[in-house]
């Protein structure tokens, strides 16, 4: 059956990624990583970019139940239209003073709206189920994604026991993996090689993987039992992690709701760390 929208199309392509090679794999990566460009890029331009024949792109579309590349373009255009609609709905007309402050607020509003607008309810439910039932949860994020992993580790530790960060050296943390455990892998463009390798290691050994990432073309998406995507566009050259941090908090809250309890009691002395008014 042909995919009815871009989300179904992307899911079908991701499922086929491990079996693709050469030109077919390059085509798949392009339509996953750049739906905006694919909405307007003709088949001749796509073929030149990928160094493949136009007939190869047509065969790729046919293999997914589509009649040709124009139907891929139409799915991408429909997705763009939906993203634009979500962005307009997010803009309530109230704007702060101009400049960087206004631009940042506008961008974060768009990122959050798109993140939650495209959140896959089934994937979210699957993720909370895995994180609720597993005896232990291992959390890994490197580079800038480490901040998201640290927040998620802290929040999830408040609602269930057995949560641990995979620290340095990585191999010491990997040795702690055991049957039934779950790995939460956090990484966005440019994807951390060590995070992807650990996710591959976990997946190969039968550990479920929950991915917090940014796109269906992320290498973590193909490895994950449940993948959740956050928009990370920033107003400069660096990504924004606002939506990813929000998604991490929402996921930990979802586990708390599923458990139906406040989590393990914290009996650790605070040594006067918290201010008392």
Q: What is the pLDDT of residue 273?
A: 62
Residues 233 and 128 in one domain: yes
- CATH code at position 23: 1.10.10.10
Tokens, residue 77: 């255009």
Residue 264 belongs to some domain of the structure: no
Cα–Cα dist 107/87, whole Å: 10
Domain count, the chain: 2
Residues 133 and 192 in one domain: yes
Residues 63 and 136 in one domain: no
pLDDT digits (tens, 9 = 90+) for 113-160: 889 888 888 999 999 999 999 999 999 999 999 999 999 999 999 999
> By the 8 A CB rule, do 169 and 158 touch?
no
Residue 220 belongs to some domain of the structure: yes
Residue 66 belongs to some domain of the structure: yes
pLDDT digits (tens, 9 = 90+) for 179-237: 999 999 999 988 898 999 999 999 999 999 999 999 888 889 989 999 999 999 887 77
* Per-residue pLDDT band at 70 (split at 50, 70, 90): very high
pLDDT digits (tens, 9 = 90+) for 101-123: 778 888 888 889 889 888 888 99
Residue 63 belongs to some domain of the structure: yes
Q: What is the pLDDT of residue 132?
A: 96
Residue 67 confidence (pLDDT) above 70: yes
Domain range holding 224?
Answer: 121-259
Residue 65 belongs to some domain of the structure: yes
Mean pLDDT to the nearest integer, 13-37:
86
Residue 254 confidence (pLDDT) above 90: yes
The total of other beta-carbon atoms located within 10 Å of residue 53's CB is 11
107: left (phi over 0), alpha (psi -120 to 50) or beta: alpha
pTM (2 d.p.): 0.68
Mean pLDDT to the nearest integer, 52-75:
95
Residues 147 and 198 in one domain: yes
Angle between helices 242-259 and 146-157 (to 10 degrees): 20
Angle between helices 121-133 and 242-259 (to 10 degrees): 60
Of 4-13, 149-158, 211-220, 260-269, give the range with the top mean pLDDT: 149-158
Q: What angle do CA 3, 113, 184 make, to 5 degrees?
A: 75
């Amino acid at each position: 059956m042909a995919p009815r929208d871009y989300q179904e199309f992307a899911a079908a392509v991701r499922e086929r990624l491990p079996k693709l090679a050469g030109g077919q794999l390059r085509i798949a990566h392009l339509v996953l990583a750049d739906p905006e460009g694919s909405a307007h890029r003709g088949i001749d331009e796509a073929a030149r970019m990928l160094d493949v024949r136009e007939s190869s792109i047509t065969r790729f579309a046919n293999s997914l139940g589509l009649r040709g590349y124009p139907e891929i373009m139409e799915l991408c255009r429909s997705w763009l239209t939906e993203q634009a609609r979500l962005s307009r709905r997010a803009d309530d007309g109230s704007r702060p003073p101009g400049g960087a402050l206004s631009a940042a607020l506008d961008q974060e509003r768009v990122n959050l709206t798109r993140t939650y607008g495209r959140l896959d309810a089934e994937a979210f439910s699957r993720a909370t189920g895995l994180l609720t039932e597993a005896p232990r949860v291992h959390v890994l994020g490197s580079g800038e994604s480490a901040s998201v992993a640290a927040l998620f580790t802290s929040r999830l530790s408040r609602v269930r026991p057995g949560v641990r960060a995979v620290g340095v050296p990585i191999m010491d943390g990997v040795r702690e993996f055991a049957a039934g455990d779950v790995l939460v892998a956090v990484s966005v463009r440019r994807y951390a090689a060590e995070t992807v390798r650990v996710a591959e290691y976990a997946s190969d050994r039968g550990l479920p993987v929950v991915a917090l990432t940014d796109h269906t073309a992320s290498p973590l998406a193909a490895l994950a039992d449940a993948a959740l995507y956050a928009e990370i566009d920033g107003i400069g050259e660096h990504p924004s992690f606002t939506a990813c941090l929000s998604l991490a908090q929402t996921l930990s809250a979802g586990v708390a709701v599923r458990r139906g309890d406040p989590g393990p009691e914290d009996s650790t002395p605070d040594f006067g760390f918290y201010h008392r008014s």
